């Protein structure tokens, strides 16, 4: 994993970006981008620290990483993915092709986010979480209305080892318990207890997660 940084000639790495040993930035990727906010955006406007990408990580083809974000070691940011500002990504994370990690989100070590997932702003994903393709998360029960929402926008908290199935939709501020399992296509409107399987729209508890699928045994 050590060795020279490789930046493809078609990639753009903005000044100030810190790239660890052996980082690769592939074709047409853009690293260190400053946000261009709408006049009406509720996102914060402080000056952003440089992007930091840890040793051995790869920013794949066409991916975008914003300023103010820190990426750990041996992370793969997939093709055409996008990681917004003030995100913290721990070591050994995979962000799948096309996925978007919105601002002010934290992602724990060894978590795998598969392709085309949407991780909303102000989310917490702990370690060894599995997010299947096309998962949708949300953070705003008021969808852009009322003043009270401004202090209350909150994404999901997805605890250690939880797994969320393809195309599942998670309502705002939901907690998905440790090692819980959300079935494909579920619409999660209530917190999910640890080590339970939920399915359906709205999602209901179906059974316990089988013992042989828990992290200790897998």
Residues forming the site for its own copies (CB under 8 A): 10, 12, 24, 26-28, 30, 33, 36, 38-40, 58, 60-62, 64, 74, 76, 79-80, 82, 92, 94, 97-98, 100, 102, 112, 115-116, 118, 120, 130, 132-134, 136-138, 140, 142-147, 163, 165-167, 169, 171-172, 181, 184-185, 187, 200-202, 212-215, 218
Nearer to its own copies, 18 or 218 (CB): 218
Closer to its own copies by Cβ: residue 25 or 52:
25
Q: How far is the CB of 47 from its own copies (least distance, A)?
A: 19
According to DSSP, the residues that pair with 204 across neighbouring strands are 199
Nearest residue (CB) to its own copies, 124 versus 138: 138
Comparing CB distances to its own copies, the nearer of 49 and 187 is 187
In whole angstroms, the minimum distance from the beta carbon of 58 to its own copies comes to: 5
Q: Residue 106 Cβ, how far from its own copies at the closest point, in Å?
A: 19
CA distance 90 to 53: 10
CB of 109 to its own copies, least distance (A): 12
**Residue closer to its own copies, measured from CB, 52 or 121:** 121
């Amino acid at each position: 994993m050590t060795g020279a940084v490789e930046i493809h000639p078609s990639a753009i790495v903005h000044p100030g970006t810190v790239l660890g040993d052996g980082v690769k930035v592939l074709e047409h990727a853009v690293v260190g981008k400053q946000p261009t906010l709408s006049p009406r955006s509720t996102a914060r406007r402080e000056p952003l620290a440089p992007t930091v990408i840890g040793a051995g990580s790869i920013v794949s083809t066409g991916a975008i990483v914003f300023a103010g974000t820190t990426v750990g070691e041996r992370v793969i940011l997939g093709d055409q993915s996008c990681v917004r500002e003030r995100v913290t990504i721990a070591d050994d994370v995979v962000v799948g092709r096309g996925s978007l990690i919105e601002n002010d989100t934290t992602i724990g070590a060894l978590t795998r986010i598969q392709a085309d997932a949407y991780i909303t702003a102000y989310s917490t994903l702990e370690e060894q979480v599995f997010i299947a393709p096309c998962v949708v998360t949300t953070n705003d029960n008021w969808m852009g209305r009322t003043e009270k929402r401004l202090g209350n926008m909150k994404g999901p908290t997805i605890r250690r080892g939880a797994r969320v199935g393809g195309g599942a939709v998670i309502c705002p501020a939901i907690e998905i318990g440790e090692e819980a399992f959300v079935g494909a296509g579920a619409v999660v409107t209530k917190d999910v207890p640890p080590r339970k399987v939920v399915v359906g729209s709205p999602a209901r508890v179906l059974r316990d997660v089988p013992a042989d699928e828990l992290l200790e045994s897998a």
